[in-house]
Structure 1
Amino acid sequence: MLSLPASIFVPLPIKSTPKIAVTCGIALLGMVDLIWAHYIDLAFHGLSSILGSMLLLALIGVFYDLSGRSKRLSDMGYYAALWTGFSATAVIFTYLTASLNFPLHDALFADLDAKMGFDWVALYLAVEGYPRFSALLGWAYDSMYVQLFVSMLYFAHKQWTRKNDELLLIAFISLVVTSIFSGVFPAVCAWHYFDLGIERSVHLSHLLSLRNGTAASFSIDQMQGIVTLPSYHTVIALLLIYVYRDQKWSFLLILALNVLMLLSVPFRGGHYLVDMIAAGILFVLSAVVTKYVLRSRERATVPDPAGTRPLMAPVVSGMRRPAS
């Protein structure tokens, strides 16, 4: 019988399936962005710095991975590169879907809120009546990116690769779906519809210029969150609570912070209640898909008898792993 060295059974692509899947997703999304932007004659500036940052971070990951010096620094480099690429391609995608210029649905969303007994105006005025509480909500709302970055570093430091995979995959899947939905069912925001807090609508000029076709270019470092339904802040708040679910003290801290973020979404994000409900459904579906992907990857590997590294079971007739 044909004997092969044990190293041939080490499935590096399978071992890295989540990273490879997201890398391919980012590349595909980037291609869609490039073609779509060219088609509608829309330019985005500052991408060279993003690509440079991604390359540097990826090289850090490769260096510490291949040298074996630090699994922690390797993961930090890899995941930071993926988050950088994902953030850039995804925000561009939200701008492109906004250019579809489908009819606005603010009136429908406000009406659905009213039918559920959610009085946005009354609650907004009540929150604004307590400036310190309003500021606290604003701080919680703005903490989203910091929480994601710190969580990525924390999981890499603890060598909790599965948690980093969950965090990245759910965020990626949900933002792609969010971008598509927000393009097909667009809305400006509750601030604009109710004419309250309009000064917080920093995204308004970008969104309206995309819709009326007057936008020519945007700088990547000045782009805004222009999505209304589903609320991506809601997705991330639920996601952060989810990935810390089996921790103790860190879970309590994350839970408290993200409950505040959820409370802030209508008033500091200008969202309708239906935006949050849609986001909750999207989060659950994204989490289910991610759980299936990760479990499928785990089933595709067979533990080494020594318990040191994942091995691929022989699948070619006549091939056997040599006895140790």
Structure 2
Amino acid sequence: MLPGTWLVGGLGASMVLLAVLMAMVRMRIGPLAIGATAMYATGTAAVILRYLCRGDGARWRNVVRDYSEYAGLFVAVCVMGAMASYPIAAANHGFADARLEAIDQTLRFNWMAWYDVVAAHPMLQILGRTVYQSIFVTPLILFGYFAFAGRRAEARLFIVSFWIAAVLTLALFSLMPAQGPLAFLERGRIPYMPVSALYQAELIPALRDHALRSVDPGSLHGLVCAPSFHAASAILYMAAAWSAKPLRWPLLALNAAMLLATPVEGTHYLIDIISGIVVALVALSGATILARFSHDLARGKAYPDRVSSPNLFDSEAFASARAARTARNRDSQELPTPTPRRARLP
């Protein structure tokens, strides 16, 4: 299991990096903003609950302890990631929409045709908006399951993979900011305004012109077009849900629907979705490597062995696979060495 000190250390490093980014572009967090007050209150409540229920005790105490830890870390990663996109947007230049649209054309994807279908069917709009905004619902359900089942290793692995995906997404966003296909392709009246609206096209120029210097954590909008963090989140949620058998198929269906709704509701090019999926797969691999490394450090090994596992979020599978490999190695070392026969003289 990933140590709690690693999680706290990563969270602290993220806070420092966010402060540096904000200072570089002379931005600040509105200290009296309603969103900031709510963020401080939520974080404080999570820390207090985690501290009061520390250690092993009654089952309900363990559930409260674990859930407050998971939810607190997850909310912190989400808020800091969204806030970091503002100074990054203020520091970069240009837009990559022409290149992204050219890639979509190469892939034979017509975003306007996809958008027109949704704009012509109100039911698709309602369904799309609902599943798109479920990005914050799935993790809360997963954290409840992990807390009740006592599966701390899987929960921490999921949080770390989500954190790695956020870092990779922000790094790529700094290289290819975009307005989004709705602002880039639509000409004239907009028949249907998706959830993401035109925030990229409106806020990024304002940030670059330093017209927006104060950030309210309660009024953050998505500025990242490529890669799509909704697409990355959908893959991470589905990977985590696979080991939660009671929730597996409902959460797989919900996040598959969110993935389908992301091009329109998130105003994303198809290449944004593909790159978001790649980000999620890299984040899963990185989190798994960290988990293996921490496991080997706890056992006193300098370098982890490569062990294949059927499930990235199943710590028991890691342990059983490693035990099986150790047993095979021990058995092979204990086999008697055959004594060579003497050749008979003719």
TM-score, normalization: structure 2? 0.78
Instruction: Identify if the C-alpha distance between structure 1 residues 88 and 248 changes in structure 2 by more than 3 Å, giving closer, same or farther.
Output: closer
Residue of structure 2 aligned with 1:284, choices 277, 281, 286: 281
Give the residue type in structure 1 aligned to 2:289.
Answer: Y
2:319 maps to none
Q: Distance in 1 between matches of 2:89 and 2:233?
A: 21
CA contact (8 A) 1:234 1:280 kept: yes
Q: Distance in 2 between matches of 1:88 and 1:227?
A: 14
1:267 Cα deviation from its structure 2 partner: 0.7
1:84 Cα deviation from its structure 2 partner: 2.6
Q: Distance in 2 between matches of 1:249 and 1:61?
A: 26
CA contact (8 A) 2:161 2:284 kept: yes
1:16 Cα deviation from its structure 2 partner: 5.5
* Structure showing greater Rg: 2
CA contact (8 A) 1:191 1:197 kept: no
1:198 Cα deviation from its structure 2 partner: 7.3
Give the residue type in structure 2 aligned to 1:57.
Answer: A
Consecutive unaligned residues of structure 1, counting only runs of 5 or more, are 1-14, 304-324
1:116 Cα deviation from its structure 2 partner: 0.6
CA contact (8 A) 1:166 1:243 kept: no
1:258 counterpart = 2:247: no
2:272 maps to 275
Consecutive unaligned residues of structure 2, counting only runs of 5 or more, are 301-346
2:15 maps to 30
State the identity as a percent.
Answer: 19
Residue of structure 2 aligned with 1:108, choices 99, 105, 128: 99
Give the residue type in structure 1 aligned to 2:272.
Answer: D
CA contact (8 A) 1:231 1:278 kept: yes
1:97 counterpart = 2:88: yes
1:56 counterpart = 2:32: no
CA contact (8 A) 1:99 1:211 kept: yes
Deviations 1:116-163 (A, max 9, x none): 100111111122222212311211101111112221222112211122
**Which piece of structure 1 moves more, 83-92 or 176-185?**
83-92
Give the residue type in structure 1 aligned to 2:17.
Answer: V
- Any idea what SS the aligned residue of 2:243 has? coil
CA contact (8 A) 1:101 1:212 kept: no
Q: Distance in 1 between matches of 2:24 and 2:148?
A: 43
Residue of structure 2 aligned with 1:224, choices 201, 221, 225: 221
Q: Distance in 1 between matches of 2:227 and 2:40?
A: 29
Residues 53-202 of structure 1: pairs in structure 2 closer than 5 A: 53-66=42-55, 68-69=57-58, 70-195=61-186, 196=190, 199-200=193-194, 201=197
After TM superposition, the runs of 4+ consecutive aligned structure 1 residues lying more than 4 A away are none
Deviations 1:25-74 (A, max 9, x none): 22112112223322322122244542342232122112212363422111
Instruction: Identify if the C-alpha distance between structure 1 residues 111 and 198 changes in structure 2 by more than 3 Å, giving closer, same or farther.
Output: farther
Q: Distance in 2 between matches of 1:92 and 1:60?
A: 25
Q: Distance in 1 between matches of 2:13 and 2:192?
A: 36
CA contact (8 A) 1:60 1:74 kept: yes
Give the residue type in structure 1 aligned to 2:82.
Answer: V
2:304 maps to none
Instruction: Identify if the C-alpha distance between structure 1 residues 136 and 292 changes in structure 2 by more than 3 Å, giving closer, same or farther.
Output: same
CA contact (8 A) 1:94 1:179 kept: yes
Deviations 1:75-99 (A, max 9, x none): 1122222123222221111111111
Give the residue type in structure 1 aligned to 2:6.
Answer: A
Cα RMSD, aligned residues only: 2.0
CA contact (8 A) 1:98 1:183 kept: yes
Q: Distance in 2 between matches of 1:239 and 1:197?
A: 33
TM-score, normalization: structure 1? 0.83
Give the residue type in structure 2 aligned to 1:58.
Answer: V
Higher relative contact order (CA 8 A, sep 6+): 1
1:293 Cα deviation from its structure 2 partner: 1.0
1:203 maps to 199
